Amino acid sequence: MQIAYTIKEVREQVKAWKKEGLTVGLVPTMGYLHEGHASLIKKAVEDNDRVVTSIFVNPTQFAPTEDLESYPRDLEKDSRLCESLGVNLIFHPEPEEMYAPDFCTWVDMDVLSKTLCGKSRPIHFRGVCTVVSKLFNIVTPDRAYFGQKDAQQLAIIRRMVRDLNMDIEIIGCPIVREEDGLAKSSRNTYLNEEERKAALVLSQSIFLGQKMVREGETDAAKIKAAMTEKIQSEPLARIDYVEIVDGLSMQPVDTVKSPTLAAIAVYIGKTRLIDNFIV
């Protein structure tokens, strides 16, 4: 497995693979890989002849008040995992390799990026769309893999690829959970013991909403109220949002029908966690 730090190295390697007629899958990540990332990589290895994983904590998707500096990093451990899963190349650029000092071109999106996480993190999706477009231009993959846990991100990337006619297949992969239900996230490492227990309220609220839908409830307000009440029962939890939206446009709906997304963002102490389910 190769680790490339420059765009030039990646381009040369991918060019050589394409010359041989090999397909390329890309798994974009910010590192500190867990089983959620591993599931994306496994799928990419299954689907493609060669797999590139990018490990880049993208500064442009963090607001100045957010956790860019403290975001967990462990390239050595990530490399071992990638190698064991069959990744062919890790792309691990420095921010300076990705962003020139006078960088001023952005990929931004209306509508879908204005609700849910976009409301509380107004510059986040502009940074995500920009860096993912850059990674797509650098790696030129046939397929790219994203987790359903970041459901709004996945919907936005699908829309960006459609709207900008990018010739890349976007594959969404299911949420991977801890045994007790907590969705896997690199940010779970911020939680102390007490907060880790309290964080279970997110998945409990998701499972409750899912159960109501399974039992035939279609009134979004009722489901939202029950999920909200569940989260509020945990003293350490502070709700950022509990929303039920159309699964494609990310706009609020009154009635649950396919595809609908129920999504939550909740602070446990200082740590902001997200979870969701799709109908």
* Separation of alpha carbons 139 and 40, rounded Å: 17
* Separation of alpha carbons 37 and 43, rounded Å: 10
Pick one of 128, 183, 231, 265: the residue that binds ligand PAF (CB under 6 A). 128
Closer residue to ligand PAF (CB): 81 or 131: 131
Q: Applying CB under 6 A, does 150 fall inside the site for ligand PAF?
A: yes
Pick one of 28, 36, 172, 247: the residue that binds ligand PAF (CB under 6 A). 28
Q: Is the peptide bond before 101 cis (omega within 30 degrees of 0)?
A: no
Min CB(73)–ligand PAF separation in Å: 13
Instruction: End-to-end CA distance of the chain: give it in Å, rounded.
Output: 39
DSSP 193-229: HHHHHHTHHHHHHHHHHHHHHHTT--BHHHHHHHHHH
> How many residues line the site for ligand PAF (CB under 6 A)?
10
Per the rule left: phi > 0, alpha: psi between -120 and 50, beta: everything else, 187 is: alpha
Stretch that binds ligand PAF, among 10-18, 63-71, 124-132, 218-226 (CB under 6 A): 124-132
Min CB(80)–ligand PAF separation in Å: 19
Q: Is 37 a catalytic residue?
A: yes
Q: Applying CB under 6 A, does 138 fall inside the site for ligand PAF?
A: no
Amino acid at 167: D
Q: Applying CB under 6 A, does 131 fall inside the site for ligand PAF?
A: yes
Bridge partners, residue 173, by sequence: 147
Q: Applying CB under 6 A, does 275 fall inside the site for ligand PAF?
A: no
Q: Applying CB under 6 A, does 30 fall inside the site for ligand PAF?
A: yes
Closer residue to ligand PAF (CB): 13 or 58: 58
Stretch that binds ligand PAF, among 6-14, 125-133, 240-248, 269-277 (CB under 6 A): 125-133
* Separation of alpha carbons 104 and 126, rounded Å: 12
Closer residue to ligand PAF (CB): 153 or 204: 153
Provide the CB-side half-sphere exposure for 117 (13 A, CA). 26
Q: Give residues in contact with ligand PAF (CB under 6 A).
A: 28-30, 58, 61, 128, 131-132, 150, 153
Hey, which residues are catalytic here?
37
